[in-house]
Copies of this chain bind each other. A is one copy, B any other.
C-alpha cells in the first residue's frame, strides 16, 4: 500500500506525511470568527479537516485536533483599524459581545454537528488566551521584531525580513507589498503609527468605548487578529507541530503573519505541513452580500432561499463537497446538489443491499481491489472524489450480484459490506439520516408490507397495488425480491 502524501502549501509540493512524534499528530485548524450565522462558506473547512482527521485516526494516529473560536481581535475588513467584528454586531443587537460570541459559536457548532464533523479535541477561544498572547508579544519585542507606539504594538515586517522570508508561505514579494499597500492603507486611521504600512498589529490600544479590553504592559487594549493562532497553537501543540490548516483566504496575511510571529518567538517554523482548502462559488459566482447569494446553512437545510429549488440535508451537503477535491473550487448549484442527493441515496441502497446478498460458491469479483483503490486515492492528497467513484463501483457490483448477474462468495460479500461501513461511515463520515426514527417507522412499514404480501398471496391485487401506490405517493418505494419486499425513501 502507498503511504499518505499531502500537498504542502509552503513547499508547493505533494510530500510524504510523517509525524514529528511516532503515532501522534498535532493538527491546528483556523476556526470561525463568531459574529454572524454560519453560511455556505463556513461549511467546507470543517468537513475537509474532519476527513483528514478521520483518515489519520483510521491509519492509527492519535490526533490532537485544535480548532479555535475567534471571539475578539478580528476587525471589520480584516485590517488593523476600525471596529472589532464581534463588538460591531453586539452594538447593533444591544448585547454583550460575549452574548454574540456565544450565539454564533452555538450556531457554528450546531452546523458542524449536523454535518457529522467530529468535535475538535480542544476548542480554545481567543478571549480566553489573552495572557498567552501578551507573553508571546513580549517575546517578539525582546527579539526586537515588534515596537510599541501609543499603547499599541506592531510587528516590524522589515526588521523580520532582514533574516527571514516574509512571504514564504503565500509567495507574496515584500517589495511588491510595500509598493502596493502604501496607497490603499494610508487612508486608514492609525496607519501613521506604523513604521511601514505592511506592519501589522499585535496589540491595539482600546479607547474607553471599547467593551472588550484587558490590562497589558502597554495599557488597556486587545490583541491583534493573527497573534491568537500563534499563541494557542503553541500552547496546545508546542513550538513545532505537524499540520496547520485553513481556507485559502487565510493564506495572507493571516497565516503568513502567524509564521512570522511564531518564528520570531521560538526560532522555529511552527507547522511542518500547511494545508489550504479552496473556496466555494455559487452558480459560478463568488459569494458576496452584494450579489444576494450568501446562503446560510439554516436556509440551505430548510430550502428557504430564492436560489434554492429545495431543501438539502446536511449529509447531501457533506457528500457533495467530498465529490470535489479540497484544493479545487466547489461550485454550488441546485443541479449539482440534487445529483449528490441521488448519488448518496444510491450508495445507501447498495450498502443495504449488500447485507442481504446470497453467497455463491463461485466468485467473479475481487472486492479487495476497491478497498485498495480507496486507500491509494486517499493517500494521494485526500482524493475523496476518487474514493466516491470507487464506492459507486462497489454499488454497481452489489446491484449486479442482487440481480443474479454476478457471482460473489461469502468472503467478497463480507468485504463489500465492510467497505461501505469503513469508507462511507468511518472515513467519509456520511451517516444515514434520521436513523433515530428508523425503529418506529420500520415497524409500521413492516405492518404494511405484511398486509401487502398477504393480499398478493390471496390474489387481492387491488389491495396490494393500492398499498404500493399510496406509499409511493407518500414518498416511499417498495422493491420486491426473492427474499420478500424492502422499502426505501424515494
In the complex, how many angstroms separate the beta carbon of A98 from the nearest chain B beta carbon?
A: 5
State whether A474 touches B444 (Cβ < 8 A). Answer: yes
Interface residues of A in 432-472 (CB under 8 A from B): 434, 436-437, 440-441, 443-448, 450-451, 463, 466-467, 470-471
Q: Does A431 lie at the interface of the complex (its beta carbon under 8 Å from any beta carbon of B)?
A: no
Per the 8 Å Cβ criterion, residues 107-160 of A in contact with B are: 119-125, 127-131, 135
Tell whether, in the assembled complex, residue B447 and residue A440 are in contact, meaning their CB atoms are under 8 Å apart: no
Q: A102-B123, A120-B102 are in contact. Are A470 and B441 (CB under 8 A)?
A: no
CA distance A125 to B122 in the complex (A): 13
Whether the pair A121, B99 counts as a contact (CB closer than 8 A) is: yes
Give complex CA distance A123, B450 in Å: 52
Closest beta carbon of chain B to A277's beta carbon, Å:
23
Residue of B nearest to A123 (CB): B102
Whether A443 and B119, one on each chain, are in contact in the complex, defined by CB atoms closer than 8 angstroms, is no
Answer whether residue A489 sits at the interface, using C-beta atoms and an 8 A cutoff.
yes
- Whether a CB of chain B sits under 8 angstroms from the CB of A305 is no
Alpha-carbon distance A470/B449, docked complex (angstroms): 12
- Complex interface bits, A71-105 against B, C-beta within 8 A gives 1, otherwise 0: 00000000000000000000000011011001100
Residues of B within 8 A of A466 (CB): 451
On whether the beta carbons of B131 and A128 are closer than 8 Å, the reply is no
Copies of this chain, tallied across the complex: 2
Closest to A452 in B: B451
Contact residues of A: prevailing secondary structure: helix
With contact pairs A122-B98, A131-B214 given, residues A440 and B437 touching in the complex (Cβ less than 8 Å)? yes
Smallest CB-CB separation from A97: which chain B residue?
B122
Contacts of A207 in B (CB 8 A): none
Partner of A122, one of B96, B440, B489: B96
Residues of B with C-beta under 8 A to A215: 131, 135
Across the interface, do B489 and A470 meet the contact criterion of CB distance under 8 Å?
no
Q: Does A64 contact B (CB under 8 A)?
A: yes
**Is there a chain B Cβ closer than 8 Å to A475's Cβ?**
yes
Minimum-distance CB pairs A-B, first 3: A437-B437, A128-B128, A443-B474
Which single residue of chain B is at the shortest CB-CB distance from A435?
Answer: B437
Any B CB within 8 A of the CB of A236: yes
Q: Taking CB as reference atom, which chain B residue is nearest A476? A: B444
Could you pull out 5 A-B pairs where Cβ atoms are within 8 angstroms?
A96-B122, A99-B122, A437-B440, A440-B441, A447-B448
